[in-house]
C-alpha cells in the first residue's frame, strides 16, 4: 500500500521546475516569428486619434485578422506575438475578472476577443500565437492601479499579484491551446516579487498555463544584452535587446541557456512598434542567422496600421530574415 500511495503522489504532484516538460521546444524548429504592438495609446499618437472606449472597440472590430495572417504566412513567420494591452488600461479581449476588480465602466476591455479571432486565422496557416502582457498594472490608468493594489517598484505586491494571476487565468482558461505561450513584460523586481512565498514565479506560471499546461512562458527582466533565464519556472529566454551589436549568447547547450530555450526579441522600426525601418533586410537576416545558428528563435517587432496590417517595407525585410532562418526559399 505505501508503494501505491507513493506512485499516486508522483503522478498527481506537479513536476519540479528543473524537470518540467520542454514546452518551448517548438521554438527551435520555428526559428523566426513576428511581434506587433497594437496598443490604444501608441496607435492614438501615431494616427492622431482621440481614444475612447467606443473608438477602441471600433479599432479592434476593424482589425483584419485574415489579412495579417496571410501576410505573416507570406513572410515565413512560424509564430506571432500580440500585445493584449499595456499602460493605457485598454485591452484587446474581454475579461470579466479585470472588470470586476477595477470597477471601470464602460469596460476598457474590447467587446471582440481579438486573440480568439487571430488564433483561428493563424491556425489555418500553421502559425502559432503567443500573448504579450505586462507583469504590472496599467501605469496610465490610476483607477485600475489603485483597484488592483499595484505599487510600482521593488515591493512585495502580493495583493496585486493574486488579482493579476486571476485576470491571466481567465484568459488562459478561455483560450486553452489556441495560444502557444506568454511573454510577460516588466518583471523588474524578481527578488522582491517572485522568489518568495506564493504568489511567486510558480503561481504566476500556473495561472498562465491554466488552460494549456504546455504553454511556454517567459518573464522579461528588461533589456539585458546577455541571454539569461531568470526563473526555473519559465521555458524560454525573454531576450529583449535594443542594440543588437551588444547581444551576447553564451554557454548554449542544445539550443538552451541554463536549460531554457534560446529566444531573442528586437525591433525593426525606429523603436518598438513605430517608425521607418532602422535596418536593411540584409542586416535583419544577419541577426536572425546569428540567433538561429544557436538553435534559437528570433522575434522581430514591426509596426502595423489601424487594420493590423504590416507595411510592405517591413514585409520585405521579414522575408529576408525568414530566408536566413530557412523559413523561406532563397
In a domain, 124, yes or no: yes
Residues 147-206: pLDDT tens digits? Answer: 999 999 999 999 999 999 999 999 999 999 999 999 999 999 999 999 999 999 999 999
Q: Could you read off the pLDDT of 310-328 as tens digits, one per residue?
A: 999 999 999 999 999 999 9
Task: Name the pTM for this structure.
Answer: 0.93
What is the pLDDT at residue 12? 40
- Tracing cell 513576428 back to the chain, one arrives at 34
Residue 209 is assigned to a structural domain of this protein: yes
Which of 41, 70, 22 has its CA nearest to residue 139?
41
For the chain, state the CA radius of gyration. Answer: 20
Domain annotation covers residue 244: no
Taking the C-alpha atoms of residue 229 and residue 219, their distance in angstroms, rounded to an integer, is: 8
Asked whether residue 272 is assigned to any structural domain, the reply reads no
Number of folded domains that form the chain: 1
State yes or no: pLDDT of 2 exceeds 90. no
- Per residue in 263-273, pLDDT (tens digit) is 999 999 999 99
The DSSP line for 64-133 is -HHHHHHHHHHTT-SEEEEE-B-SSS-BSS--HHHHHHH--SS-SB-SS-HHHHHHHHHHTTT-EEEEEE
Whether 56 is in a domain gets the answer yes
CB 285 within 8 A of CB 323: yes
Residue 15 has pLDDT above 50, yes or no: no
Say how far apart CA 242 and CA 199 lie, in whole Å.
31
Q: How far apart are CA 317 and CA 14, in angstroms?
A: 43
Residue 258 resides in a domain: no
Give dist(CA 224, CA 304) in Å, integer: 26
- Domain range for residue 220? 21-236
Amino acid at each position: 500500500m505505501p508503494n501505491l500511495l507513493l506512485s499516486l503522489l508522483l503522478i498527481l504532484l506537479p513536476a519540479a521546475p528543473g524537470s518540467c516538460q520542454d514546452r518551448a521546444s517548438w521554438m527551435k524548429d520555428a526559428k523566426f516569428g513576428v511581434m506587433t504592438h497594437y496598443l490604444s495609446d501608441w496607435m492614438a499618437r501615431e494616427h492622431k486619434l482621440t481614444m475612447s472606449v467606443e473608438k477602441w472597440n471600433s479599432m479592434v472590430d476593424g482589425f483584419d485578422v485574415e489579412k495579417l495572417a496571410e501576410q505573416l504566412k507570406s513572410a515565413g513567420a512560424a509564430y506571432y506575438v500580440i500585445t493584449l494591452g499595456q499602460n493605457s488600461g485598454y485591452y484587446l479581449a474581454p475579461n470579466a475578472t479585470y472588470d470586476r476588480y477595477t470597477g471601470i465602466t464602460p469596460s476598457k476591455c474590447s467587446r471582440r476577443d481579438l486573440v480568439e479571432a487571430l488564433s483561428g486565422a493563424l491556425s489555418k496557416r500553421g502559425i502559432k500565437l503567443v500573448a504579450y502582457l505586462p507583469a504590472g498594472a496599467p501605469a496610465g490608468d490610476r483607477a485600475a492601479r489603485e483597484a488592483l493594489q499595484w505599487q510600482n517598484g521593488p515591493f512585495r505586491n502580493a495583493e496585486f499579484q493574486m488579482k493579476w494571476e486571476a485576470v491571466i487565468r481567465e484568459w488562459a482558461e478561455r483560450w486553452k491551446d489556441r495560444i502557444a505561450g506568454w511573454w510577460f513584460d516588466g518583471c523588474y523586481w524578481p527578488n522582491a516579487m517572485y522568489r518568495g512565498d506564493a504568489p511567486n514565479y510558480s503561481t504566476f506560471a500556473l495561472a498562465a498555463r491554466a488552460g494549456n499546461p504546455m504553454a511556454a512562458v517567459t518573464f522579461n527582466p528588461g533589456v539585458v544584452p546577455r541571454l539569461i533565464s531568470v526563473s526555473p519556472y519559465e521555458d524560454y529566454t525573454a531576450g529583449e535587446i535594443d542594440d543588437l551589436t551588444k547581444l551576447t549568447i553564451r554557454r548554449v547547450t542544445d539550443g538552451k541557456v541554463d536549460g531554457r530555450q534560446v529566444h531573442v526579441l528586437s525591433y525593426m522600426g525606429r523603436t518598438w512598434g513605430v517608425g521607418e525601418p532602422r535596418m536593411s533586410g540584409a542586416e535583419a537576416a544577419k541577426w536572425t542567422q546569428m540567433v538561429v545558428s544557436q538553435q534559437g528563435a528570433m522575434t522581430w517587432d514591426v509596426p502595423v496600421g489601424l487594420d493590423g496590417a504590416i507595411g510592405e517595407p517591413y514585409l520585405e525585410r521579414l522575408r529576408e530574415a525568414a530566408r536566413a532562418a530557412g523559413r523561406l526559399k532563397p
